[in-house]
Amino acid sequence: MQPFEIIGAPLTLWLAPVATAFPLISADPSGSWIKVGTNGDKNQSGEGVTVTHGYTFQEVKPGGTTGPVKAFLDEENLSFGLTLWDLSLEQYQLALAGTAPSTTAAGVGTAGYKKIGLSHSSTVKEYALLARGVSPYGDGWSMQYEVPRCYQSGSPSPVYRKAQPSGLALRWTALEDMGASSAEERFGRLIAQHAAAL
The predicted-structure confidence for 70-126, as pLDDT tens digits, reads as follows: 999 999 999 999 999 999 999 999 998 788 899 999 999 999 999 999 988 788 999
Predicted confidence band of residue 164 (pLDDT cuts 50, 70, 90): very high
Instruction: Please check whether residue 7 lies inside any domain of the structure.
Output: no
How many distinct structural domains can be found in the chain? 1
Instruction: Please check whether residue 66 lies inside any domain of the structure.
Output: no
Collapsing DSSP to helix, strand or coil, 94 comes out as helix
**Cα separation, 86 vs 143, whole angstroms:** 25
Cβ-in-10-Å burial (0-12, 13-18, 19+) of 114 comes to: middle
Instruction: Please check whether residue 62 lies inside any domain of the structure.
Output: no
- The range of the structural domain enclosing residue 85 comes to 13-56+75-101+115-192
Q: How much is the pLDDT for 1?
A: 59
Predicted confidence band of residue 197 (pLDDT cuts 50, 70, 90): confident
Instruction: Please check whether residue 107 lies inside any domain of the structure.
Output: no
**Cα separation, 41 vs 57, whole angstroms:** 34
Predicted confidence band of residue 55 (pLDDT cuts 50, 70, 90): very high
State the average pLDDT for the chain.
Answer: 95
pLDDT at 7 over 90: yes
**Cα separation, 159 vs 145, whole angstroms:** 30
Instruction: Please check whether residue 70 lies inside any domain of the structure.
Output: no
Q: What are the distances in angstroms from CA 10 to CA 56, 115, 148, 175?
A: 28, 31, 21, 24
Q: Which residues contact 24 (CB under 8 A, 6 or more apart)?
A: none
Instruction: Please check whether residue 27 lies inside any domain of the structure.
Output: yes
Instruction: Please check whether residue 2 lies inside any domain of the structure.
Output: no
In terms of phi and psi (left: phi > 0; alpha: psi -120 to 50; beta: otherwise), the region of 48 is left
Instruction: Please check whether residue 129 lies inside any domain of the structure.
Output: yes
Q: Whole-prediction pTM value? A: 0.92
